[in-house]
Amino acid sequence: MHRPRLPAFFLAGSLLAAGVLDAAPATATTLRIHTNSDIRSTDPGVNRDNNTDSVVLHMVEGLVGYDAKGQPQPLLAERIEVSDDGLAYTFHLREGVKFHNGKPLTADDVLWSWNRFMDPKTGWRCLSDFDGRVRLKVEEVTAPDARTVVFRINHPDPLFLSSLARNDCGMTAITHRDSLKADGTWDKPIGTGPFKLGEWRQREYISLVRNDDYASLPGGPDGYVGSKRPLVDEVRFVVIPDAATAKAALQRGDIDILHRLPYAEAAELKKDPSLTVYPSSIWAPNTLLFQTTDPLLGKLAMRRAIAAAIDYKQLVDGVTYGLAEPNQSVVPLSSPYHTAVQKQAFTHDATRIKQLLAEAGYRGERLLITTNKQYTHHFDMALIAQAMLQQAGINAELEVVEWGAQQDKWQKGNYQLMAFGYSARLDPALSYESVMGPKATQPRKVWEDPASLALLADAMRQADPAARQAAFDQLHRNAIDQVPLIVLFNTLVNDVARNDVTGYRASVFGSPRLWEVAKQGPAGG
């Protein structure tokens, strides 16, 4: 892992004290964007979270990436051929692509990157999605020549390219072997993206510098594909954990973009003529997760009692200040697969709670709700749910931990009830897959009903939209019946930029994309 230099000191709320705002050369054009936490690593798809993905995907690219509509499209591949039986994918690499060290992209680099991802020692987030443990197995990857790579899979899978493109998989990035130190451990990403790693000062900032040799695709910007020209000399992700401090820094002009404006601040900043708010509804569900192996929450009646105790409209309005609407389906509201069936929801029913608690044999045991304060809406979800559960006679308490600690608890399944948000998945089957699976081998999963897992497997192999819709509808019915989790709403992201920033775009990804973004005014801002 690349070990950044630790800062000499860190003074919360004082960016100037840490040298964050005035360290760029006066001649450089620096675009400063707020991030509410430091990244976890620079290794794509390894030791990651949403903030980490957002930064790393400015430096690395994969064979395919998502376009603005969430569909996988060629990126480092010029074209892709699929065999008649659906088992072989042939990727023809683009000419003229170079890594950050100036070396050309070859098929050997693809093989090296893939083999590293498939080594369990790497710790790739998506290993189980490709090694046969979940469903799909990549049986062989070969390079017939320097410009061609062939992937062979164990059965036809319409979602193979979508899986490769996933942001949480680090876009299955192709990196150069110089990304490793001499001892084989990770150093820093030598990728093909529009920006290169400049400096990572832990808990202060991550500086990315322009890749002058970037080989951009033609046309306009299009999600993670299309034109991705770096239009500033430096992009600096400034770590400001406190939302009020970040807002003040934006209004002073100390930062140029505030990412994930708290819902409570949206109305005020929309009135500021020097700022532009960019709202985007993304395919990221916010949830209450149940640990069904817990003695208390393993009881279906107890989970149903909790579901009946929550007033969903009141909770979502309280968390988002009326900006979002409830959605209790894993399928996002804006998905074409979100139908009338997906609108079937849990019902707030005070009259049933006592009956269900009695059926569960509940005797006032403590129920711990794990959450964090880094994401304000997670904390607010937990706080409002706690109040509603207490009113229903359930002894609910909050466990507030650092975001990194909550991620670890989620990964290990070490919680009772958790207020948690998932990254956006750009196909409903992948959204369901993020919460479904065997807990024995994937402790982070929350739903392991065999019949539902079989439905999901069918949906992931089907290409016919009607057949997939039928599977998604039945999965939703099963989720409402079995209550392995409660989906509350899809994240609404408000980013705010100063008006001298041009080219910034909201997106269904909810993550900032800073290529094709320029900054006007004096050099260096």
Q: Which residues contact 416 (CB under 8 A, 6 or more apart)?
A: 290, 291, 294, 296, 297, 367, 368, 369, 370
Q: Which two tokens stand for residue 310?
A: 């929550």
277 occurs within a structural domain: no
**Cα–Cα distance between 400 and 411 in angstroms, integer?**
17
167 occurs within a structural domain: yes
**pLDDT at position 309, please?**
98
How many structural domains are present in the chain?
2
16 occurs within a structural domain: no
Instruction: Based on the fold, state whether residues 65 and 190 are members of the same structural domain.
Output: yes
**Cα–Cα distance between 175 and 212 in angstroms, integer?**
18
Q: Which of 140, 144, 139 is nearest to 106 (CA)?
A: 144
Instruction: Based on the fold, state whether residues 334 and 394 are members of the same structural domain.
Output: yes
CA 472 to chain centre: 22
Instruction: Based on the fold, state whether residues 514 and 481 are members of the same structural domain.
Output: no
Instruction: Based on the fold, state whether residues 509 and 486 are members of the same structural domain.
Output: no
Which of helix, strand or coil describes residue 356?
Answer: helix
336 occurs within a structural domain: yes
**pLDDT at position 461, please?**
86
* Helical packing angle, 428-435 and 465-482, nearest 10°: 30
9 occurs within a structural domain: no
Instruction: Based on the fold, state whether residues 248 and 355 are members of the same structural domain.
Output: no
**Cα–Cα distance between 473 and 467 in angstroms, integer?**
10
**C-alpha dihedral (45, 48, 49, 55), degrees to nearest 10:** -80
**pLDDT at position 20, please?**
41
| Average pLDDT along the chain, 525 residues, taken 10 residues at a time | 34 38 58 96 95 97 94 97 97 98 98 98 96 92 98 95 95 98 97 98 98 96 97 98 95 96 92 94 93 97 98 97 94 91 95 96 98 94 98 98 95 97 88 94 96 93 90 98 97 94 89 95 50
In 126-262, where does DSSP find H-type helix? 160-165, 243-252
**pLDDT at position 479, please?**
98
4 occurs within a structural domain: no
Q: Which two tokens stand for residue 124?
A: 């790739």
Report the CATH number at residue 482. 3.10.105.10
Which of helix, strand or coil describes residue 341?
Answer: helix
Alpha carbon separation from 381 to 150, 175, 247, 332 (Å, rounded): 46, 39, 22, 18
| Exposure of 91 in the CB half-sphere (CA atoms within 13 A) | 28
525 occurs within a structural domain: no
**Cα–Cα distance between 288 and 367 in angstroms, integer?**
13
**pLDDT at position 522, please?**
54
In 444-523, where does DSSP find H-type helix? 450-461, 465-482
471 occurs within a structural domain: yes
Instruction: Based on the fold, state whether residues 243 and 370 are members of the same structural domain.
Output: no
Q: Which residues contact 16 (CB under 8 A, 6 or more apart)?
A: 22, 254
Contact, 467 vs 505, CB < 8 A?
A: no
Contact, 9 vs 201, CB < 8 A?
A: no
**Strand-by-strand arrangement of the 396-400 sheet:** 195-201, 205-210, 234-239, 30-35, 257-258, 485-498, 275-290, 417-421, 367-371, 396-400
Range(s) of the domain holding residue 105: 30-256+500-519
Q: What angle do CA 423, 430, 127 make, to 5 degrees?
A: 85
Q: Which of 120, 122, 262, 94 is nearest to 185 (CA)?
A: 122
Instruction: Based on the fold, state whether residues 358 and 225 are members of the same structural domain.
Output: no
**pLDDT at position 24, please?**
41
Instruction: Based on the fold, state whether residues 451 and 317 are members of the same structural domain.
Output: yes
Instruction: Based on the fold, state whether residues 194 and 293 are members of the same structural domain.
Output: no
**Cα–Cα distance between 26 and 44 in angstroms, integer?**
32
Instruction: Based on the fold, state whether residues 220 and 307 are members of the same structural domain.
Output: no
Report the CATH number at residue 128. 3.40.190.10
Instruction: Based on the fold, state whether residues 313 and 252 are members of the same structural domain.
Output: no
Instruction: Based on the fold, state whether residues 90 and 219 are members of the same structural domain.
Output: yes
**Cα–Cα distance between 5 and 119 in angstroms, integer?**
28
